[in-house]
Structure 1
Amino acid sequence: MNEQHTEEEHKQETDQATNEEQETVNEVEAEGAEDGRIAELTRLADENQQRYLRAQADFDNFRRRTAKEREELAQYASMKLIGQLLPVIDNFGRAIEAAKTGGDVESFSKGVDMIFRQVEGVLEAEGLKTMETVGQPFNPEFHQAIMQVESDEFEEGIVVEEVQKGYMLKDKVLRPAMVKVSG
């Protein structure tokens, strides 16, 4: 029986050793798989970091470029308008030269009137409009009342007289009209 017992013990020890070896192999394989997973995650993290840095650099470049474009736009915004006013300046120069040579006053007056209409045309093309005020109800958004006067012609709160023209640039008040209002 002793031999049988010893064989059985030996078999159990062998089985236990085999199980321990298998467990060790499984642990090593698990560690290897875990190391591979960690390496993969590290690679992905590095890749995402590089993408982030590139996107940040692209955004910084975009912000600098748009700031520069905005600065240039502000600097040269009036270029078109000034280009349209150059012929007006030329005509004023001709009118001044004509006045110096002692030309006809009536033709000089007509020339200045034509230049004035030319300036108005350029400004209207840019969206400048003159406000119509006389006979309109007083509106503090469009009118600046400088005086209140008695009027038999207009009822109370109506603009009686325009002292200085008001202007709109597209749909915004550029300068309110100075007016006298009936009281």
Structure 2
Amino acid sequence: MSEKELNEEKSTVKTAENTAEAEEVEVVEEVFAEEPPKEEEKSEQLLQTEIEELKKQNAELQTKLDEAENRILRVQADFENARRRARLDLEASEKYKAQSLISDLLPAIDNFERALAMEADNEQAKSLLQGVEMVYRSLLDALKNAGAEQIEAVGKEFDPHIHQAIMQVEDENFGSNVVVEEFQKGYILKDRVIRPAMVKVNQ
């Protein structure tokens, strides 16, 4: 082989080697150029997954928070209702504290009224009745001071809230549905009826 041919062959081999090296560099460059997008895509997927998980946890926490707020509002409402009932009970207890005592005194007052309805035929009986009337008036004053009063009946229009009709009559001297006669006095404590008046009503 001549020196020229030898030089040409070396040149061909060197060119082939350069071409191979260039191809290897190009392959390596392509590999390194493709890897980062894969890692970035993977990171974005992980980030998206984490975001979805956080959204789910946030929704669950919001639901629990709403439930807790609703429970707190219900407890507050129950507490306010209980406090209002307790206040009303206390006010009613204070307002009507004398009711039990007054109810116990009514039979005695009825007996005083029956005694005062009797006719006195001598001075001794009249003196006794005067003493009875004084005690009776003292009891009525005590009831009034406690907030209790007698219910007006005769000549008043019948009111089923404060009157109890036990008889009906036809009397031209009274209008229709008017109380004609009272058999037993009724009493009211402030705005509460302790005992309705037992009455006779005109038709």
Which residue number in structure 2 is paired with residue 67 of structure 1? 87
| SS, match of residue 93 in structure 1 | helix
Say if 1:102 and 1:94 are closer, same or farther in 2 by CA, change over 3 A.
farther
Which residue number in structure 1 is paired with residue 4 of structure 2? none
- The one-letter amino acid paired with 1:6 is E
Residue deviations 1:94-115 (CA, integer Å, cap 9, x gap)? 454558443756xx59x97xx9
Say if 1:101 and 1:83 are closer, same or farther in 2 by CA, change over 3 A.
farther
Could you tell me which of 16, 25, 29 is aligned with 2:36?
A: 16
| RMSD, aligned α-carbons | 3.2
What CA distance in whole angstroms lies between the structure 2 residues aligned with 1:102 and 1:59? Answer: 68
Number of equivalent positions: 114
Query: Structure 1 residue 33: deviation in Å?
Result: 0.9
**Residue 42 in structure 1 maps to residue 62 in structure 2:** yes
Q: Where in structure 1 are there 5+ consecutive unaligned residues?
A: 120-183
Query: Structure 1 residue 50: deviation in Å?
Result: 1.9
Which residue number in structure 2 is paired with residue 140 of structure 1? none
Give the share of equivalent positions with the same residue, in percent. 32
**Residue 55 in structure 1 maps to residue 60 in structure 2:** no
Which residue number in structure 1 is paired with residue 51 of structure 2? 31
Say if 1:61 and 1:101 are closer, same or farther in 2 by CA, change over 3 A.
farther
Structure showing greater radius of gyration is: 2
- The one-letter amino acid paired with 1:79 is Q
What CA distance in whole angstroms lies between the structure 2 residues aligned with 1:9 and 1:100? Answer: 138
Query: Structure 1 residue 81: deviation in Å?
Result: 1.0
Say if 1:102 and 1:71 are closer, same or farther in 2 by CA, change over 3 A.
farther
Could you tell me which of 76, 79, 83 is aligned with 2:99?
A: 79
Say if 1:12 and 1:59 are closer, same or farther in 2 by CA, change over 3 A.
same
| SS, match of residue 40 in structure 1 | helix
Which residue number in structure 2 is paired with residue 102 of structure 1? 122
- The one-letter amino acid paired with 1:10 is E
- The one-letter amino acid paired with 2:107 is P
What CA distance in whole angstroms lies between the structure 1 residues aligned with 2:47 and 2:40? Answer: 10
Q: Where in structure 2 are there 5+ consecutive unaligned residues?
A: 1-20, 140-203
What CA distance in whole angstroms lies between the structure 1 residues aligned with 2:119 and 2:34? Answer: 126
**What's the TM-score, normalizing by structure 1?**
0.50
| SS, match of residue 77 in structure 1 | coil
Residue deviations 1:118-155 (CA, integer Å, cap 9, x gap)? x9xxxxxxxxxxxxxxxxxxxxxxxxxxxxxxxxxxxx
| SS, match of residue 122 in structure 2 | coil
Query: Structure 1 residue 45: deviation in Å?
Result: 1.7
